[in-house]
Structure formats: structure tokens, C-alpha cells
Amino acid sequence: MVKLLVDGSPATEADLRHQALVNYGAYTSFRVESGGVRGLDLHLERLESAAVELFGQVVGDGRLRALMRAAIGPRQDAWLRVSLFSDALSNRDPTAEGAPRVMVGVFDPPSALGGAVRLQLRTYEREAPHLKHVATLGLLRARRAAKAAGFDDALFVGRDGRISEGSLWNIGFLSGDTIVWPEAPMLAGVTQALLSEGLRAQGIAQTTRPVTVADLSDFSAAFICNSATPAASIAAIGDRTFEPDPALIDRLTETWLSQPPQTI
């Protein structure tokens, strides 16, 4: 069952109509586990940063938390999508500023990807890639094209030849004993940040550097990560195949689980 609340009240037809017609806003989404969220502070920082950039004013950490609690109610496990929008802003007059309204969607938790993902390389760069914004046409179009070509998803390559991110996830590679994160304009993923923090605490070597398609032959394994799938193996990127590395996925999953859920 899906629940949608706007500023703590059930979403009205007017609320939904505005968001359907005015494609301007930002969001974050995450899994709630036993009433807590891994990396909740990073999700809140993402929302507040987007609120300032897109609307000129923060929502407030306390208000965001209160609206999340009101939406989830007694449920201990769920998937939340927290969206920011402003019905004072329209296609004809996009100049309004002020604290955005907050819509919280509550959903059943999604299943994680099973791994052995096959990715199609797509030349694509998201607009304002540092934002998790609601302009998702390009992402869905890329995923549709990849699936139509027999792949599971799309991996983006910029016009400069650098690999950046996937449609809904970040990517990492294994070179020897070192985790390599690509350096390119992209969304800084919360799961990626938590994995990086956990691996650093374990003393696992990591580096962030530009990665091109030609570099793929240098890596022994690759994985995707997001809040729904903390770690899933990649079987192929284009015609470059990778051998399964269950030990890597197990370590990444354990690293994710070692990050304690934060109370909403």
C-alpha cells in the first residue's frame, strides 16, 4: 500500500496535479529498517542542499524528520521517498523562492538486485548531476534502450569519455586489492559514501580517479551500489565481462551492514 503525505497531510489532487505538470524539484529515497535509516544524516544534507539551490531556503532538519515520522507512523520497515516542490513556482513564473513543500511517499521495501548485472554503455550526462532531481526522462530513456538491447541497465559515459554513474546507482571497480571509484560529474551516492567510510575504517585501499572505457580491462571485478542494493556484482559492461567475486560482494554487504541505522 502506498501512502503520500504533503506537509504532514494526505496529498490533495492539487498537490499531485502541480507535481505532474511542473517538473521542478528534488528528492531522496531510502530503506527504513527497524525504524532507522543508514546514512540518514547524508540524506537530510542532500535535501537541505537541494532546497537552498532550487528554492532559496532550507526546510529544516527537525521539520524533515517530523514529516518522515508522521508519514511512516507505526511501521518499522518501509521505503521512503522524500520530495521537495513548490506550488508557488510554475512554468510561466519560475521565480518564486521560499522553503519548499515536502511530500513523503511510503512504500513497501523493494527487493535488492540479485547481481550478475549486464550493462550497456550509453553516452549521457545528467543535467545538474550533483542533484537528485526529478528530471528523470534521460534516465528512464537510457534504461529502456538498454533493456531493449538485451542488457539489464545503462552505465553512463560523458562526452569527455569518463565513466560516471548508472541510471539509479553508483559504480565501483576492483583493481588488485584497491577499490576504484570513478571521478566524473555525478550524484554523490549515500550508499557509496557509507561503503567508502566503512572500507576506510577497515583499512581497505581506495582511490577516486577518472575511469574510461579503455580502463575496464584493468579491473578484475565491478559492482553497483545504492540504497536498495548495497552491493551487486556486474557480469558485463558492453563486451567486457567480469568473473564473479562473491568475496567482494560479501565484504561490501558486511561493510554496509556495519553502518548503524540512525533514528528518524
Q: What is the DSSP string of 96-156?
A: --SPPEEEEEEEPPPPPP-S-EEEEEEE---SSTTS-BS--HHHHHHHHHHHHTT-SEEEE
Per-residue confidence (pLDDT) for residue 115, from 0 to 100: 84
Per-residue model confidence (pLDDT) at position 114: 81
pLDDT at 2: 87
- CA–CA separation, 201 and 196 (whole Å): 9
pLDDT digits (tens, 9 = 90+) for 162-198: 999 999 999 999 999 999 999 999 999 999 999 999 9
The Cα 143–Cα 5 span in angstroms is 29
Nearby residues of 125 by Cβ (< 8 Å), 6 or more positions away: 156, 158, 159, 164, 185
Domains of the chain listed by start with CATH number: 3-107 (3.30.470.10), 117-259 (3.20.10.10)
Evaluate if pTM is beyond 0.85: yes
Comparing CA positions, the residue from 93, 86, 107 lying closest to residue 18 is 86
Contact 56, 97 (CB under 8 A): yes
Say how many residues make up the chain. Answer: 264
- Position 203 scores a pLDDT of 95
Low-confidence ranges of the chain (pLDDT < 70): none
State residue 112's pLDDT score: 84
Q: What integer pLDDT is reported at residue 4 of this predicted model?
A: 97
> What residues does 180 pair with on adjacent strands?
173, 207
**pLDDT at position 59:** 97
